[in-house]
Amino acid sequence: MSILVNKDTRLLVQGITGKEGMFHATTCREYGTTVVGGVTPGKGGQTVDGFEVFDSVERARQKTDANVSMIFVPPPFAADAIMEAAAAGVELVICITEGIPVNDMMKVKAFIEDLPVRLLGPNCPGVITPGEAKVGIMPGHIHSPGKVGVVSRSGTLTYEAVWQLSNVGLGQSTCVGIGGDPINGTSFIDTMSLFKDDPDTEAVILIGEIGGTAEEEAAVWIKENFDRPVIGFIAGATAPPGRRMGHAGAIVSGGEGTAEAKQKTLRENGIHVVESPADMGNKVAEVLG
């Protein structure tokens, strides 16, 4: 089994005629994902590199029955793209775009609240179920099918965790990048809930970072609800207070959101915390025996 994407995924790429959209639509197709087309307003009716282009998500859905959308629309227009996909009935919207204004994302959250759609991101690398489907910008070749789930706020550290797991002979069930913006769609708890319902996920690596309280909230949820091993790493231990480190959400203020506080809470709730990202793979191997 898997979570979020699999062999039944029918992927639509919003912003497909842009450089990034076309490149990653192609790499997803090469991995084996069924990419059914793309959307660029004003360019409907064209076929580019074998991809049919539509003027709107609604029209694309009618023609292709797409159930997942991947967004490479520029930041000023990305929020509208998310809401367009949600309104058209796409079940899973994965927004790769970074730099979307916080106010725009507040409008998105309000808009999709009562709709049957899951948003992943923005500012995320996407999601991959090794051997089945890749929807995002991650390097597919480092992944291998297996039993360890990965959920992370950091794309780069997701790839590092996967590389380490593969090198110690542990494949991955599904790897999910939730993004590092202050306002995003799917949370750590949302993702862990999905892993809980996947009997083939035997352990999970949870990669957090400074800023906010999402990791602490997830730790409490894990202790009460998740019965398999979780290995945790918190990035940003050396970050100066009040300094943003890469992600817009990675900012420490008022004594909250420090790496030390997060590590302490994770440990108190039974999570196996490593202090160096270089230890993630070996720790999973040790815990699983």
pLDDT digits (tens, 9 = 90+) for 212-256: 899 999 999 999 999 999 999 999 876 666 555 555 554 555 455
Look at residue 2 and tell me if it is in a domain.
no
What is 254-282 written as a DSSP string?
TTBS-HHHHHHHHHHTT-EE-SSGGGHHH
Residue keyed to tokens 């494949």: 171
Instruction: For the beta carbon of residue 81, count every other beta carbon within 10 angstroms.
Output: 24
Domain containing 264 equals: 138-288
Structural domain total, the chain: 2
Residues 6 or more apart whose CB falls under 8 angstroms from that of 131 comprise 32, 144, 145
Is there a single domain that holds both residue 112 and residue 169? no
Look at residue 1 and tell me if it is in a domain.
no
Give the mean pLDDT of 92-110. Answer: 97
CA pair distance 112, 101, nearest whole angstrom: 17
Give strand pairing partners of 232: 206, 273
Q: pLDDT band at 118, cuts 50/70/90?
A: very high
Q: pLDDT band at 62, cuts 50/70/90?
A: very high
CATH number of 48's domain: 3.40.50.720
Q: Within its chain, how far is the Cα of 232 from the centroid?
A: 17
3-state secondary structure of 59: helix
Name the percent of the chain in helix, strand, coil, to the closest 5.
Answer: 35, 25, 40
Amino acid, single-letter form, for residue 198 = D
Is there a single domain that holds both residue 163 and residue 277? yes
Average pLDDT score over the chain: 94
Residue finishing a domain among 120, 149, 173: 120
Per-residue model confidence (pLDDT) at position 180: 87
> Pseudo-torsion of CA 63, 56, 112, 153, nearest 10°?
90
**β 34-39/10-14 pair status:** parallel
Reply yes or no on whether 143 is catalytic.
no
Residue finishing a domain among 53, 86, 120: 120
Is there a single domain that holds both residue 201 and residue 93? no
Give the mean pLDDT of 51-59. Answer: 98
Contact 69, 12 (CB under 8 A): yes
16 CB burial (10 A radius; 0-12, 13-18, 19+): buried
Look at residue 5 and tell me if it is in a domain.
no
**β 172-177/145-152 pair status:** parallel
Res. 178: pLDDT tops 80: yes
Residue 219 backbone class (left: φ over 0; alpha: ψ -120 to 50; beta: rest): alpha
**Digit-coded pLDDT (tens) for 13-48:** 999 999 999 999 999 999 999 999 999 999 999 999
**β 272-273/230-235 pair status:** parallel
Look at residue 226 and tell me if it is in a domain.
yes
Per-residue model confidence (pLDDT) at position 247: 58
C-alpha closest to that of 32 among 2, 7, 49, 5: 7
Residue among 24, 143, 247, 272 flagged as catalytic = 247
Per-residue model confidence (pLDDT) at position 2: 87
Is there a single domain that holds both residue 164 and residue 101? no
**Digit-coded pLDDT (tens) for 119-155:** 999 999 999 999 999 999 999 999 999 999 999 999 9
